Chain A
Amino acid sequence: KAGVTQTPRYLIKTRGQQVTLSCSPISGHRSVSWYQQTPGQGLQFLFEYFSETQRNKGNFPGRFSGRQFSNSRSEMNVSTLELGDSALYLCASSLEGLQPQHFGDGTRLSIL
């Protein structure tokens, strides 16, 4: 069974640009959560999607948004990039949002 797949693995952007990250969950998993990982703040919850609906959201500005498609694949978008957005962005999937989450290897985003 394939795991959680995130693309791309690495991205370099400049301040002010926007970026879209993609996540394909484990087959059969309908819940997708996104996290930001930085050395200073650790892993922080961004939002969770289930059946194409955002059910939960963390304390991040509105520049961070996401969506989920009917096949459960999810995308995350960050607009007007800032230097502080440099981080590893991780996607995790679970059956329905309350079971253990399984993570992808993340997208490393660097802002110049």
Chain B
Amino acid sequence: QQQVKQSPQSLIVQKGGISIINCAYENTAFDYFPWYQQFPGKGPALLIAIRPDVSEKKEGRFTISFNKSAKQFSLHIMDSQPGDSATYFCAASSDAGNMLTFGGGTRLMVKP
């Protein structure tokens, strides 16, 4: 039972372009939505996170957009760089104890 669906599975973007990754969730109890970045052979690292009380959060080139009514959230990477090439995971958790449910991941490649 996949409670968080992530798309696309892979994405190729030219340097300087915008990368957009989408996630949809089913559980309305989810109230924390992080995005993790993972480089090959490494553990995931928290990139940015949002809670449902805001519709958008921006940190540098990374922005999360959140649509509570549609139960969707997305990651936008502005001015994408080759160093952004990695796998990105969305996740969600509810108040009931820190358990994160992960999306399937998106492998991003930014071409120079």
Q: Do A and B bind each other?
A: no
